[in-house]
Amino acid sequence: MLQELGIRARAAEPKAALLQCKEKNRGLRAAAEALVKYKAEILEANQRDLERAKKNGMRQALLDRLQLSEDRIQGMAEGLLQVAGLEDPIGEVVGMKLRPNGLRIGQKRVPLGVIGIIYEARPNVTADAFGLCFKSGNVCILKGGSDAIDSNQKIVEVIRAALKEEGLPEDVLLFIADTDRETTREFMRMNSYVDVLIPRGSAGLIQAVVENSTIPVIETGTGNCHIFVDETADFDMALEIIDNAKTQRIGVCNACESLVVSSKIAEEFLPLLKARLDKKQVEIRGDKRAREILPSIVEAVEEDWGKEYLDYVISLKIVDCFEDAVSHINRYNTKHSEAIVTRDYCHAERFLNEVDAAVVYVNASTRFTDGFEFGFGAEIGISTQKIHARGPMGLKELTTLKYVVYGDGQVRE
């Protein structure tokens, strides 16, 4: 069954790759319309998922993610229309060069091919992932969480029918209906049929994919993001940025989880910091030196430094110098997003160079690590690995470059 899906994906791959931009946009618009048109059926399927999930005792936060509404379906449709409005990444030729022997060698942007996406019980990912993969000329095979199976299947059915009606290859969107673990395991080893696997979801899901996949994985990951306030920082700016990065949205990977403050300003800055964070009920867990200044705060233990709280909690470390700040951050961060607040030119440039993360900031909130904020118009996830793509991934990150070589009879000597 899985192999059959793989064969269908490979058969659809060249068709997807060669679709013209206007055909892809037509497909996206038709899919968007169909989602709205069949919203009653989608909500009905979602209702079945919700009832099953409640019976299985799913937590409220997860139920919220699973639940669809007219608005959410509208949102999915609008997402597809937005992707239709984006520039087609396919076909761009990068850096054509003439070699001494007369060969012209360039790199052409082409789809990755067949993209596998493994995700949890968020039905909106089904439409989002399809839209991005389709616009970038890829075929996608989706494997959603078992809790959302009815919603996902209905959404896939609606989109595929819309594509078919437009005379477009419906097999650009394939869905794995089996939800047992063995199928997922097998899927992660289908190297002949799948070019790249993208896991979207919790740290546990991502870890399982990294551990078990033999297909190249683009790891999207957790964010233990730091903000370093050095001794030259503008305090108002630092407080604004910390407040924003910690509390503007809790529970996202680009939220700030840990502060590093220069000992030269700690005595003056920490009371201001505490006053500011108290307003939002953020608990501070500080090291020994921080607690000497703020005796009322909780003591941070070793595991606090590596923790992605996703909650109204933040850790606080006092350092004596720039080097200590950088080595603390490089030791505990998850290579996601890191920021410095400073007025010092040398600290700013050194921070950008020396901190190892997908995105490094001077004087800005870590919350900007996001495909939309970066101007990509869409996002499939935020890569925290180093190969292929780092940071927010948009349409371009779902493509690869192939060398195209124009000759007139050249042979190698």
| Residue among 38 and 351 whose Cβ is closer to a copy of itself | 351
- Which region holds residue 58: left if phi is over 0, alpha if psi is between -120 and 50, else beta? beta
Q: Which residue in 52, 289, 388, 396 binds a copy of itself (CB under 8 A)?
A: 388
Q: Which residues contact 323 (CB under 8 A, 6 or more apart)?
A: none
Residue number with CB closer to a copy of itself (68 or 260): 260
Of 164, 168, 177, 112, the C-alpha closest to 140 is: 112
Q: Which of 33, 88, 240, 344 binds a copy of itself (CB under 8 A)?
A: 240
DSSP-assigned letter for residue 88: P
139 or 158, CB closer to a copy of itself? 139
Using rule CB under 8 A, residue 401 touches a copy of itself = yes
* 3-state SS assignment for residue 392: strand
Q: For residues 102-121, which are near a copy of itself according to CB under 8 A?
A: 103, 105, 108, 110, 112-113
Pairing of strands 337-341, 225-229: parallel
Residue 163 to residues 12, 63, 201: CA-CA distances in angstroms? 13, 30, 27
- Cα 263 to the center of its chain, rounded Å: 35
Q: Does 300 bind a copy of itself (CB under 8 A)?
A: no
- Asked whether position 7 contacts a copy of itself by CB under 8 A, the answer is no
313 binds a copy of itself (CB under 8 A): no
- Comparing CB distances to a copy of itself, the nearer of 54 and 402 is 402
Q: How many residues bind a copy of itself (CB under 8 A)?
A: 70
The number of CA neighbours under 13 Å toward the Cβ of 188 is 21
What tokens were used for 109? 């942007």
The least distance separating a copy of itself from the CB of residue 347, rounded to whole angstroms, comes to 13
Sole window of 126-134, 268-276, 310-318, 373-381 interacting with a copy of itself (rule: CB under 8 A): 373-381
Shortest separation between residue 41's beta carbon and a copy of itself, angstroms: 36
Q: How far is the CB of 256 from a copy of itself (least distance, A)?
A: 11
Of 163, 38, 15, 152, the C-alpha closest to 141 is: 152
Tell me the closest approach of the beta carbon of residue 232 to a copy of itself, in angstroms. Answer: 14
Neighbour tally for 337: CB within 10 Å: 33
109 backbone dihedrals φ, ψ, rounded to 5°: -80, 125
CA 40/CA 330 separation, integer angstroms: 50
Is 78:35 a contact under the CB 8 Å cutoff? no
Per-residue contact track with a copy of itself, 186 to 225, x per CB under 8 A?
A: -----x---xx-------------xx--x-xxxx------
**What CA–CA distance (Å, rounded) separates 276 from 270?**
10
Site for a copy of itself in 333-362 (CB under 8 A): 348, 352-354, 356-362
User: What CA–CA distance (Å, rounded) separates 141 from 116?
Assistant: 5
Which of the stretches 59-67, 81-89, 287-295, 366-374 binds a copy of itself when contact is defined by CB under 8 A?
366-374
Residues found near a copy of itself in the complex (CB under 8 A): 13-14, 17-18, 97, 99, 103, 105, 108, 110, 112-113, 191, 195-196, 210-211, 214, 216-219, 234, 237, 240-241, 243-245, 248, 330, 348, 352-354, 356-365, 367-369, 373-375, 385-388, 390-391, 400-412
